[in-house]
Amino acid sequence: MVVEIADFKVAPEEQALFCEQLQRGVREVLSQAQGYLGHRVLACSETPSRVVLMVDWRSLEDHTVGFRQSPAFAQWRAIISPFFAAAPQVEHFVASAN
């Protein structure tokens, strides 16, 4: 299992709307991707221009190849990218055993 953390920068006054769009994008597109296991949309309290999306994937390739190289990726970006104030920063993580 791999965790994607995507850090988004948006206009502060659009933080709530962007969270709604992310949820819509997950519902309509991302959650249909092979290997999608779950997600969280997080609105930053201290920095209203910041939104974090965490996605649990079965494997790194499910995200980087299966999803990003599928037609669904364009649909996903069409829903969320109009809000971008900067390019999102995306990295992958391995959860250490609790």
The dihedrals phi and psi of 78, each to the nearest 5 degrees, come to: -65, -35
Instruction: Give the shortest CB-15-to-a second copy separation in angstroms.
Output: 10
Q: By the 8 A CB rule, do 43 and 16 touch?
A: yes
The dihedrals phi and psi of 5, each to the nearest 5 degrees, come to: -120, 120
Q: Is 87 in the site for a second copy (CB under 8 A)?
A: no
* Contacting range for a second copy; rule: CB under 8 A; set: 35-43, 65-73, 79-87: 35-43
The footprint of a second copy (CB under 8 A) covers 2-3, 5, 19-20, 22-23, 26, 39-47, 50, 52, 54, 60, 91-98
